[in-house]
Amino acid sequence: MKAVIYARVSTEKQEEQNTIDSQIKELEIIIQQNGDSLIESFIDNGYSGTILARPALDKLRDGAKNQSFEKIYIHSPDRLSRKYAYQVLILDELKKYSIGVVFKNMKTAETPEDHMLLGMQGVIAEYEKVKIVERTRRGRLYRAKSNHVIGNIPPFGYVCIPKSQSNTGFAQYKINENEAKIVKLVYKWLIEEQLTTYKIVDRLQVQRIKARKGKLWAKSSTHKLLRNETYCGITYYNKHYYIPSNKEQEKGKYNRRENTLLRLRPKEEWIPIEVPAIMDRTTFELAQDQLKQNALMSDRNTKHTYLLKGLIKCGREMGSMHGIPSHGKRYYRCYFKSKLNSPTPCKSSIVHAGRVESIVWDSMLDLFSNPDLIRSQFEKWINKKEQEANNPHASEFQSNNIEQGLLRLKTEENRLLQAFSSGAITIGQLKEQNERILKERKEIEKSQEIMRTLQEKKVVVMPKKKDFIKYASIYKSYLANLDPSKRQILLRKAKLNVTILDRKLNIKGTLPTNPTVELCPQPPPERSSGSR
């Protein structure tokens, strides 16, 4: 008779232990002893027995319907399914198509007693599944609370010493010095140079720095590295949990487990585990602040312009409010309103973007065009710069920073040329990086010029009151006609902070007084009496 084999294991660990191969070999011997002919094997690697939709099982059921074979050999009923109801469903379906079923560890059900035994085995298999899951869960929780590392795949920068090789009797992380150097370098680029994740990935590729196993760095893996709290000496277990998805499964796609939606647990349920630290807590927090700043100021993947992007917060949860489109209109929504970002979603309402932006911009326009405010801010700026000019230690520190910045850019230029000469990067990548370096150099040289002017102690003449009134009038006319992108730049320079709570706005900001920021054109020169 034409026979097939069905085999299943539920985890990759079982795959590595050759559980599938052992099932198949045992069944092949039985098929040979019974004089049947094996024509195909249906194998589900890493699929849970609680799920009915499995790729190999579906092909098996289709083959049974088309009468492609006459008999199926299976190691045990729980390989078919861990749920008794699913076992009965599949076996009834095979019986309908006159397909024989042979289990290795029990004879084919023919009598009522056989069916009863098969049913009991199905119920026991379902009970064992629950028992194994619960025993594993409790065992892992106990080990985590005892400060034992759970899992054998450590983050980049560490190696995992298995309990069989550990002198402590349990698995533990040890710092991989070569990888740790890369981790520190990436954090340095983020904190000191304020590079975005994409620019960090580019630099890693330009400098031929590989990820684990010689792979190239990707944006996702780099971002994960920059968010991993393990590097400052603590990792967490029991941080997430999975729930079933209500989303309809796409045709031709299969889930390996029943629960597929990831959810964040309340922080009080997280179990901290101490590990060797690669960096201190302060460095890690500085990196998180910079990542937040990068995310807030990023304009990637934004179809609509949101004037207050990165500047508006929810007063209830103090989370950033993100722009979202809905039915052709723009809104702001609290970050913690999503169940994925908070176990207890924020109850604040979404707010209409156009209305909030109009109120904020009109308020800021009144402030920016207030002559008394401009005069007071100008006086503060003069006093601050005079104090800096009279402080030799501050000047020396700034001078050293400028020199180090220029030297760093020169070194980076040489590395890029070497990388291009060796074929590591293309001419397009070389041009892109050179443009970035040129822009950074101009900014540094501009700061150098400002500092030189201050050190020469040039006198800054305070304009008269009528001049400030004139400037205010020019400001108002110019600012009123700014396009949305330039308005956004101005609000960011003003360090605007908008908080909304119960439909009430709280607006804070600082009038920009940096001389390198051109808010508007210079006022026209005074005309002489002979002018027409």
Give residue 529's pLDDT: 32
Give residue 85's pLDDT: 80
Domain boundaries, the chain: 2-142, 158-233+275-289, 303-370+469-508, 384-455
DSSP 3-state helix, strand, coil percentages of the chain (rounded to 5)?
50, 15, 35
In this structure, are residues 6 and 23 in contact, taking their beta carbons and an 8 Å threshold?
A: no
pTM listed for this prediction: 0.47
Beta-strand relationship, 321-326 and 240-244: unpaired
- Burial class from Cβ neighbours inside 10 Å (0-12, 13-18, 19+) for residue 454 reads middle
Which CATH number among 2.40.37.10, 3.40.190.10, 1.10.40.50, 3.40.50.1390 corresponds to the domain 2-142? 3.40.50.1390
Give residue 138's pLDDT: 79
In this structure, are residues 346 and 317 in contact, taking their beta carbons and an 8 Å threshold?
A: yes
- What does the DSSP assignment read for 71-104? EEEES-HHHH-SSHHHHHHHHHHHHHTT-EEEET
What are the residues whose beta carbons fall under 8 Å from the beta carbon of 73, sequence distance 6 or more? Answer: 3, 4, 5, 6, 27, 30, 31, 102, 104
Question: Token pair 């319907």 is at which residue?
Answer: 65
User: Which residue from 267, 242, 245, 266 is spatially nearest to 344, judged by alpha carbons?
Assistant: 266
Give residue 110's pLDDT: 62
Give residue 258's pLDDT: 65
Give residue 520's pLDDT: 38
Architecture of the domain defined by 158-233+275-289:
Alpha-Beta Complex (3.90)
Q: Both tokens of residue 210?
A: 């590989």
Q: Which residues are catalytic?
A: 10
Within 10 Å of residue 226's Cβ, how many Cβ atoms? 21
In this structure, are residues 437 and 412 in contact, taking their beta carbons and an 8 Å threshold?
A: yes
User: Which residue from 452, 442, 460, 447 is spatially nearest to 384, judged by alpha carbons?
Assistant: 460
In this structure, are residues 191 and 290 in contact, taking their beta carbons and an 8 Å threshold?
A: yes
What are the residues whose beta carbons fall under 8 Å from the beta carbon of 75, sequence distance 6 or more? Answer: 7, 23, 26, 27, 103, 104, 105
* Phi and psi angles of residue 102, each rounded to the nearest 5 degrees, phi first: -125, 120
Give residue 35's pLDDT: 92
How far is the C-alpha of 318 from the C-alpha of 427, rounded, in Å?
Answer: 46
Beta strands in 266-344 (DSSP E): 271-274, 312-314, 321-326, 329-334
111, amino acid identity: T
Cα-based angle 110, 57, 245 (whole degrees, multiple of 5) = 120
How far is the C-alpha of 511 from the C-alpha of 376, rounded, in Å?
Answer: 10
Give residue 445's pLDDT: 81
Give residue 518's pLDDT: 36
- What does the DSSP assignment read for 11-50? SHHHHHTTHHHHHHHHHHHHHHHTT-EEEEEEEEET--TT
* Phi and psi angles of residue 214, each rounded to the nearest 5 degrees, phi first: 75, 15
Q: Both tokens of residue 78?
A: 């729980």
230, amino acid identity: T
User: Which residue from 117, 22, 131 is spatially nearest to 77, judged by alpha carbons?
Assistant: 117
- Low-confidence stretches of the chain (pLDDT beneath 70): 11-18, 107-115, 117-119, 121-122, 126, 152, 244-260, 296-303, 340, 385-400, 450-463, 465, 510-532
Give residue 340's pLDDT: 67
DSSP character for 256? S
